[in-house]
Amino acid sequence: MTLDQLLTDTKPALSQIYSTDLPELSQAKDWQSKYRVLMQLGRKLPAIPEKMKQPSLLVKGCESRAWLMHYYNQHQDQHFFVLDSEARIVKGLMAIMLCLVNGMSNTDLKKFNLAQAFDKLNLKPYLSQSRGSGLNAMMERIKSCCH
Amino acid sequence: MSHFDPVNFRGHFEFFQQNPDWVYLDNAATMHKPTAVLNAITRFYQRNNSNVHRGAHTLSQNATRAFEQARDDIAAFINAKDRQQIIFCSGATAALNQIAFGLMHTVLQPGDRILITALEHHANIVPWQLHCAGFGVTLDIVPLTADNKIDQQAFTRLLALQPKVVSFSHISNVLGHIQPIAQMIQQAKKAGAITVVDGAQGIVHDRIDVQLLDVDFYVWSGHKLYGPTGIGVLYGKTELLEQLKPIFGGGEMISEVQFSHSLFNKLPFRLEAGTPDISGAIGLAAAINWLQKFNTNEIKNYKTMLLKQFYNGLQAIPGLDILSSPVHNAGIVALNVQGEHPADVAELLNQQHVAVRGGQHCAMPFFSQLGLAGAVRFSFAPYNTEVEVATSLQALAQAVEILTA
Asked if the model's pLDDT at residue B2 lies above 80, the reply is no
Does residue B1 sit within a domain? no
Same domain, yes or no: B133 and B282 = yes
Residues B74 and B179 occupy one common structural domain: yes
Cis amide prior to B342 (ω within 30 degrees): no
Beta-sheet strands, E only, within B286-343: 320-322, 332-337
* CA–CA dist B277, B348 (Å, integer): 38
Determine, yes or no, domain membership for B76: yes
Residues B285 and B300 both lie in one domain = no
- Whether residue B332 is contained in a domain is answered as yes
- B259, B291, B323 - which closes a domain: B291
Closest residue in B to A31 (Cα) is: B351
In a shared domain, residues B46 and B153: yes
Answer yes or no: is B200 within a domain. yes
Yes or no, beta carbons of B344 and A87 under 8 Å apart: yes
B43 and B18 both lie in a single domain = no
Q: Helix, strand or coil for residue B207?
A: coil
Sign of CA dihedral B365, B366, B371, B377: negative
Distance of alpha carbon B382 from alpha carbon B393, whole angstroms: 18
3 state SS of B335: strand
| Domains of chain A, each with CATH number or no CATH | 3-143 (3.90.1010.10)
Give chain B's domain count.
Answer: 2
Q: Do B264 and B343 reside in the same domain of the chain?
A: no
The answer to whether position B116 is within a domain reads yes
- Are residues B139 and B286 both part of a single domain? yes
CATH no. for residue B91? 3.40.640.10
Average pLDDT, whole number, for chain B? 94
Question: pLDDT tens across B148-187, in order?
Answer: 899 999 999 999 999 999 999 999 999 999 999 999 999 9
Q: Which residues contact A124 (CB under 8 A, 6 or more apart)?
A: A115, A118
Q: Let me know whether B188 and B44 are in one domain.
A: yes
- pLDDT at residue B241, rounded to an integer: 97
A 10 A CB-CB count for B259 gives: 5
Best of A30, A34, A35 to substitute, by most chain B Cβ atoms within 10 angstroms, is A35
* Cβ atoms of residues A10 and A82 within 8 Å: yes
Spatial distance between the Cα atoms of B330 and B352, rounded to a whole number of angstroms: 25
Q: Which of residues B261, B291, B321 is at a domain's end?
A: B291
pLDDT number for residue A120: 83
ipTM (interface pTM): 0.88
Which residue, among A64, A65, A135, would best test binding to B if mutated, counting the most B CBs under 10 Å from its CB? A64
Residue B124 and residue B198 in contact, taking contact as beta carbons nearer than 8 Å: yes
CATH number of the CATH domain containing B19: 3.90.1150.10
Q: Domain boundary residue among B269, B291, B313?
A: B291
Cβ–Cβ of A87/B350 closer than 8 Å?
A: no
**Domain of B325, in residue numbers:** 6-30+295-404
What pLDDT is stored for residue B364 in this prediction? 81
Q: Which residues pair with B210 in a beta bridge?
A: none
Chain A CB within 8 Å of residue B376 CB: no
Is some CB atom of chain A closer than 8 A to the CB atom of B351? yes
Q: Is residue B367 part of a domain?
A: yes
A32 at B interface, C-beta within 8 A: yes
B231 and B167 in one domain? yes
Q: Which residues pair with B320 in a beta bridge?
A: B337
pLDDT in tens, A85-114: 988 988 999 999 999 999 999 999 999 998
Which helix or strand (DSSP H or E) is residue B217 part of?
strand B217-221
A116 in contact with B, Cβ within 8 Å: no
pLDDT for the residue numbered A128: 60
- Name the 3-class secondary structure at A94: helix
User: B68 and B23, same structural domain?
Assistant: no
With an 8 Å Cβ cutoff, are B403 and A39 in contact? Answer: yes
Lowest mean pLDDT among B151-165, B226-240, B355-369: B355-369
DSSP assignment of B77-99 equals HTT-S-GGGEEEES-HHHHHHHH
Give yes or no: residues B224 and B336 share one domain. no
List, for residues B178-227, the tens digit of each pLDDT value: 999 999 999 999 999 999 999 999 999 999 999 999 999 999 999 999 99
Is residue B262 one of the residues assigned to a domain?
A: yes
Same domain membership, residue B281 and residue B349: no
